[in-house]
Amino acid sequence: MNTYLITGLAVIIATQNVRLVENFFEKMNREVTTSIKKANHVGQETKNKEKWIWMEGNLNVDRFRNGDKIPRARNAEQWVAASRRGEPVWCYYYDDANNGKKYGKLYNWYAVNDARGLAPEGWHIPNYDELNEWHKSLGVDHFAMKKIIGTNDRDKKDNETNKIFNGLPGGYINDSGEFRDLGNQGYWWTSSPALDFPGADYNTARFQAWSFYMNYNTPIVFIQPNNMMDGYSVRCMKD
């Protein structure tokens, strides 16, 4: 076959593939709508296919729903002490309020599970089943998954089109009071303790709760149990 003909066909095929991808993203954007509503959180609410409505930003409250103050940890010692006692506590990454403006606060799971209610009125922290159902609804399509991944400041253009979850990588604080992964990964709690699941090992699971995390440049949502003493972001769903 003529070399020029082969080259021409390759260009046509490549052009068609680009158009398919562009059409896919246009369809995704039509499915996603946003409405402005402030509710003691960073950002606005985001609607995905009219079933799951996420807060667009991470929770940033310092009081429970009943008005009681949530204790704040300003250093590793305070974080570890409260968490070892099984008491609720929050902090900013590096104890820097500027990080809270973008990423919200980090909470241990004892704050998530507190009967006084961490989520604002009209919102709740999703349990494992809700999270898993939402995750499955995204399918395995690479481009659909890219739509939920937040970015750091290295790629603002992607962040502007990230309307399904907007999961900015706010990092976490571990059970020893060490901060990790800001700008690389985001971690979020669910309301489900790991011990609630059949077959869970009691000795390990009694200190764990289900969470999920994402890397800023990887189109994958990881769901797994983690230490209740860790400090993660919290993202609420609308009731």
172: pLDDT strictly greater than 80: yes
Give residue 164's pLDDT. 66
pLDDT at residue 148 above 60? no
Q: How many domains does the chain have?
A: 2
Residues 42, 28 share a domain: no
pLDDT at 40: 40
In this prediction, residue 129 has a pLDDT band, given cuts at 50, 70 and 90, of very high
Residues pairing with 47 in the sheet = 33, 53
Section 21-49 average pLDDT: 40
**Whether the Cβ atoms of residue 154 and residue 168 lie closer than 8 Å to each other:** no
Same domain for 189 and 108 = yes
Q: Are residues 15 and 72 in the same domain?
A: no
Residues 63 and 165 in one domain: yes
**Residue bearing the bigger pLDDT, 13 or 105:** 105
Higher pLDDT: 27 or 146? It is 146
Residue 26 has pLDDT above 50, yes or no: no
Q: Are residues 19 and 48 in the same domain?
A: no
Residues 128 and 14 in one domain: no
Higher pLDDT among residues 13 and 76, named by residue: 76
Count the Cβ atoms, other than its own, within 10 Å of residue 151.
Answer: 20
- Between 147 and 83, the more confident residue is 83
Whether residue 19 is found in the same domain as residue 126: no
Residues 2 and 57 placed together within one structural domain of the fold: no
152 and 180 in a single domain? The answer is yes
The parent domain of residue 168 ranges over 36-238
- Between 48 and 33, where is the model more confident? 48
57 and 82 in a single domain? The answer is yes
Do residue 2 and residue 43 come from a single domain?
A: no
**Shared domain check, 22 and 132:** no
